[in-house]
Structure 1
């Protein structure tokens, strides 16, 4: 687009805005407020929340740090069926004098969703499991699930503009390109599209969201699996796997019926031993009022029909890392 075309577009935009301001001041005010709010979100920066430290499997000398950041710019799932969006940034590696290698990868998630997913240990472990899988896919190497929280919220030096952490090498050529991408808000074409749309909301404004310059590297798992009439997912699905699990071993288990006691309803307590499992993030657990199904990819497959109908909505699960035992408390109906 040459300078003359840009000038004509700018004049057209201002004329349309002037018309809107004269003919419908309220709609003009709402339109401007909406643009400013979207611009605020679009130009927001990722904020460090926690750093996970683990290591590469098969290479004890490689230490992996995952800087998890909350970022308003990452879309929040609009429905329970919409996949969670995780955004992996640019990795950096450094060779240390002792022969070890430090690899650092930034990962971003919507700020509101991060708070929701870290409110309980079960949800937090499931989220971190998704992030570990994304890290493996990004680094193209297997990493240990035996992670710990790094002593600082962020490993390394946080850049003055943290958004530059999430621009991949293929998207940039030089420092000028980085700044241009980090500061881009809306193009004139986007604004023209908004102003000329025939379909309006009830307040007369277009509801189309701003298109970002960044694409999510991975769509992993789901925030909440769609609840069917008879099913409830207790642990998020991490990724699609082969649906034939008949070749996997069935883990040892015990099922105990606990009678009603005072205010506590009668319940089943199911304990499943998973000796090679180190984290609940490896587990995919589904439960209905008649049965329970557990899948640990490439390790275990377990299914059980309950002797009596249970209340799946009140079921809870807890994983003990020390004993590698998954315990389900399932109230009877």
Structure 2
């Protein structure tokens, strides 16, 4: 019975492919401009399936389990990951496998997240947008790998941790576009290819511009397994739910010999009533202040500081957080 169903499916697909090529032949004669537009569009789309991910940005955070461990995340640019169709749509991403790396006495984990080149371009132009992409990636990693990550992160100078070959293996060693053979033949995922072509052929030029994109014929002949694109619900993880960057002032306090001794930071946090609302993370060369759903500030410090001697005070009356960071002796 399964064999009969399979043969029927193959027969239906073959019949649809034959009809498709017949309609393409008719279109090439009756509407050469629409035919050329169709071919050019799907040649471009088809080439995207053969592209490989490219490194863009790398950041470091920590896995908060029984013992903390460093996690490096490579944000990659990949043409196979689509950009959001509109500003109100969720941002698609694709996550790779996670690996544990041992280098001498150092043990850390590494994984990769791929976005559309268009999405990463916006992140390069806007630090707030970049921050939200990183936080979206961190949330995805927590959900996908059942981990709890630190809220703070540090951008790494190199745009890739590890090798290109390893990164591409982690990302490409998984399934293809999320569309099944049943959806392709039955039209469950929308108007069938033949219906779209019929509409394109019979409509005028104005209708041609408004028709939805048409699936590549090659997708019908070679159905892929689901899983290429992972989309996060816009109601929970939408990149545009931005938090505000608070106003701040940073000063270098010098001694009598004009040598920098302390970095003094003052941050205005209107609406914050207690220091308990603030998450302060300080490393040797950067600082992150996070007030969930209200404020976020990440700064690269002008001097290396002593992490163990940092002090912080919050004035409830003025809503100002003061952070003192002694500079390391050189």
Aligned partners of 1:107, 1:22: CA distance in 2, in Å?
A: 45
Structure 2 match to 1:69: 76
Please say if residues 87 and 216 of structure 1, whose CA atoms lie closer than 8 Å, have aligned partners that are also in contact: yes
- The 3-state SS of whatever aligns with 1:101 is strand
CA–CA distance in 1 between the matches of 2:213 and 2:170?
26
Residue 35 (structure 1) aligned to one of 36, 42, 53: 42
> Structure 1 CA distance, aligned partners of 2:313 and 2:207?
56
| Alignment deviations for residues 140-188 of structure 1 (CA, whole Å, 9 cap, x no partner) | 12222343233532223323993861554xx5xxxxxxxxx48x9x998
Question: Is 1:271–2:268 an aligned residue pair?
Answer: yes
- Specify whether residues 318 and 56 from structure 1 end up closer, same or farther in structure 2 by C-alpha distance, changes over 3 A only: closer
Please list every run of 5 or more consecutive structure 2 residues that lacks an aligned counterpart in the other structure: 1-5, 186-191, 246-265, 270-274, 282-287, 302-311, 321-330
Q: How does 1:97-246 map onto structure 2 within 5 Å?
A: 97-98=104-105, 100-159=106-165, 162=168, 165-168=171-174, 171=175, 181=176, 189=185, 191-192=193-194, 194-197=196-199, 202-204=206-208, 206-208=211-213, 210=215, 213=226, 214-216=228-230, 218-219=232-233, 221-225=237-241, 234-235=243-244
RMSD: 4.2
Deviation at 1:115, TM superposition (A): 1.6
Distance change (3 Å), C-alpha of 1:203 and 1:32: farther
Residue 284 of structure 1 and its aligned partner are, at CA, apart by 1.7
Report whether the alignment pairs 1:85 with 2:92. yes
Q: Decide which structure has the larger Cα Rg and report it.
A: 2
Cα displacement (A) at 1:26: 0.9
Note closer, same or farther for the CA distance 1:130–1:277 as it changes in structure 2 (3 Å cut).
farther
Q: What's the TM-score, normalizing by structure 2?
A: 0.59
Once residues 161 and 18 of structure 1 are traced to their aligned partners in structure 2, the CA distance between those partners, rounded to angstroms, is 43
Could you tell me whether the CA contact under 8 Å between 1:49 and 1:68 is conserved in 2?
yes
Q: Does residue 21 in structure 1 map to residue 18 in structure 2? A: no
Q: Is the 8 A contact 2:196 2:214 kept in 1?
A: no
Give the distance between the partners of 1:15 and 1:102, measured in 2 at CA. 57
Structure 1 residues 103, 221: CA separation in 2 closer, same or farther (over 3 Å shift)? same
Partner of 2:328: none
Give the direction of change, closer, same or farther, for the CA distance of 1:138–1:15 in structure 2 (3 Å limit). same
Alpha carbons of structure 1 residues 136 and 235: separation in structure 2 relative to 1, 3 Å: farther
Task: Find the residue that maps to 1:207 and give its secondary structure.
Answer: coil
| CA deviation string 1:102-138 (max 9, x = no partner) | 3221111121111212323333223322222222222
Point out where structure 1 has 5 or more consecutive residues left out of the alignment. 172-180, 226-232, 237-268, 286-293, 295-316, 328-333
- Other structure's SS at 1:284 match: coil
Find the partner of 2:54 among 47, 51, 55: 47
Q: Deviations over 1:82-118 (max 9, x none)?
A: 22223222222234553x5332211111211112123
| TM-fit CA distance, 1:58 | 3.9
Q: TM-score, normalised by structure 1?
A: 0.58
State how many pairs are aligned: 246
